[in-house]
Structure 1
Amino acid sequence: MKIATYNVNGVKARLDVLLRWLADASPDIVCLQELKAPDTRFPVKAIEAAGYGAIWHGQKSWNGVAILARSHKPLLTRKGLPGDPDDSHSRYIEAAIDGMVIGCLYLPNGNPYPGPKFDYKLAWFERLTAYAGELLELKVPIILAGDYNVMPTELDVYKPERWINDALFRIEVREAYRRLVAQGWTDALRKLHQDKRIYTFWDYFRNAYERDAGLRIDHLLLSPDVAARLSKAGVDKEVRGWEHTSDHAPTWIELSDTSKKRRRTE
């Protein structure tokens, strides 16, 4: 099973890129972020024509998240992150698919630091951590995938000394990510590429992609039973080089089929 996360940076504007990538990569489950479209403008017909069912949580001009599943529609289990009834941002959606819980998230950017946007980011992170702990208590397979807007370590940013006071790299944000993972989650990409500089985002400015001046901010966190099935993880970096593409590249994992493994050992 192949599961991916992809910040499309505008689902209407990048629809051709998204459909091309879906056809090329054939992921089974996809988490999308930064739709930048209200619910009524989500291109569901085009996505269904590509063979995917979808659920989405849109917002005009900003934010927005969606989950796609090949050949069937995901079962919606939650829209919005709990913990703040006044938060109107469309940043979290959750579904049950093939016996797993899939949470798709778009964590706030938080810039400029210091300021109210940074404070909101840390508060959102606290809410995510609290809810993630509740999910782990369910003892079911869970994946929390999306654009976390955090580079967890210096290995995840091309020139860490330039990012010390950026909200994506502030020590408070990296500590929040560390506390989240410490609950028992596995950072899939880092698990399989422990010492490798591997990026998921390249800015549009200053030829960042051509210079490979990137950031790793898109993550898939796996509950223990899902982590036990992790076989591959990577980034479709070439998609970032396509015409009129997002500044992110699709990030993905592959999970082994435990039932097949069991049959082979019987």
Structure 2
Amino acid sequence: MRIATWNVNSVRQRLDHLQTWLKETSPDIVCLQEIKCVDEAFPREPLEALGYNVVTHGQKTFNGVALLSRYRFDETTPRLAGDPEDLHARFLEGVVSHSGGSLRIACLYLPNGNPPNTDKYSYKLNWMNRLLNYSKEQLKSETPFVLAGDFNVIPTPDDVHNPVAWQGDALFLPQTRERFRALLNLGLTDAFRAVSDQPNQYTFWDYQAGAWQKNNGIRIDHLLLSPQAADRLVDVGIDRHVRGWEKASDHVPVWIDLDLK
């Protein structure tokens, strides 16, 4: 089973790119972030025509997440528990059944948090605490579990082109990285780092200052795996070439292959 995550940075603007990539890569399950539209405006028909079941948790202009799956969803749940007043569309969970059992996948768009020393950073840290609590509960189950999306976290200096330039950024602050490590310490595995220790492997390049052309990037899109999923990990890839397409998203897809037989 191939599972992918991609911050498309407006699904309606990148629909052609999304369709091209789906045909090229044929993932079984896709987590999309920053769809930037309400549920009713999501272009589900062309994606259903490609064989995907579509579930969305949208929001006008900002945020928004979606799940695409070649498997029917047994259940789906929007919003991350822990703050009933948080109405941002940043989280969508789905469960699918397959020949080997079932799989739980959570698609997330973690807050950016900039600028630090503001309510935006407090919101980010609180969101990460809620994610920790959610993950603790899911890890009690024997069902393979994948946490996928745009985490807006640079885990280590090896995941950024110029660590010094990012020292004061909310994505790279010690408190942010500590909470990401706390997720891993629960027993989750960073799928990419499970198969590669290479530095300079990025998933995001800013639109400014020729970042893409200079390979001045960061790795902030992650797939974290429960032990039951990590044991079935076969391969991981970053579809870097997608960033070079005309009017591309500033993120690229990241995918894993799991042997769930």
What TM-score bracket applies, with the shorter chain setting the length? over 0.9
The match for 1:84 is 83
The match for 2:119 is 116
Q: Secondary structure at the match of 1:198?
A: coil
Q: Percent identity?
A: 51
The amino acid that maps onto 2:24 is D
Q: CA deviation at 1:73?
A: 3.4
Q: Secondary structure at the match of 2:53?
A: strand
TM-score w.r.t. structure 1 length?
0.95
Q: Secondary structure at the match of 1:253?
A: strand
Matched, 1:227 2:226: no
Q: CA deviation at 1:222?
A: 0.3
Matched, 1:146 2:149: yes
The match for 2:168 is 165
Listed one character per residue, the Cα deviations across residues 138-158 of structure 1 (whole Å, up to 9, x for unaligned) are 221100000000000000000
Listed one character per residue, the Cα deviations across residues 96-135 of structure 1 (whole Å, up to 9, x for unaligned) are 1231001000000000111110010000000000111001
The amino acid that maps onto 2:2 is K
Q: Which of 247, 251, 256 pairs up with 2:250?
A: 247
The amino acid that maps onto 1:86 is E
The amino acid that maps onto 1:12 is R
CA-atom RMSD, angstroms?
Answer: 1.0
Taking the aligned partners of 2:255 and 2:5, their CA distance within structure 1 comes to 6
Q: How many residue pairs end up in the alignment? A: 257
The match for 1:263 is none
Taking the aligned partners of 1:97 and 1:242, their CA distance within structure 2 comes to 32
Taking the aligned partners of 2:144 and 2:53, their CA distance within structure 1 comes to 21
TM-score w.r.t. structure 2 length?
0.96
Q: Which runs of 5+ in 2 are unaligned?
A: none
Equivalent residues of 1:55, 1:73 under 8 A apart: no
Taking the aligned partners of 2:28 and 2:72, their CA distance within structure 1 comes to 11
Q: Secondary structure at the match of 1:243?
A: coil
Q: Secondary structure at the match of 2:169?
A: coil
User: Once structures 1 and 2 are overlaid, which stretch shifts more, 119-128 or 204-213?
Assistant: 204-213
The match for 2:55 is 55
Equivalent residues of 1:5, 1:146 under 8 A apart: yes
Q: Which of 188, 205, 218 pairs up with 2:221?
A: 218
Equivalent residues of 2:75, 2:96 under 8 A apart: no
Q: Secondary structure at the match of 2:212?
A: helix
The match for 1:19 is 19
Higher helix share: 1
The match for 2:67 is 67
Q: Which of 123, 130, 134 pairs up with 1:131?
A: 134
Q: Which runs of 5+ in 1 are unaligned?
A: 260-266
Equivalent residues of 2:57, 2:89 under 8 A apart: yes
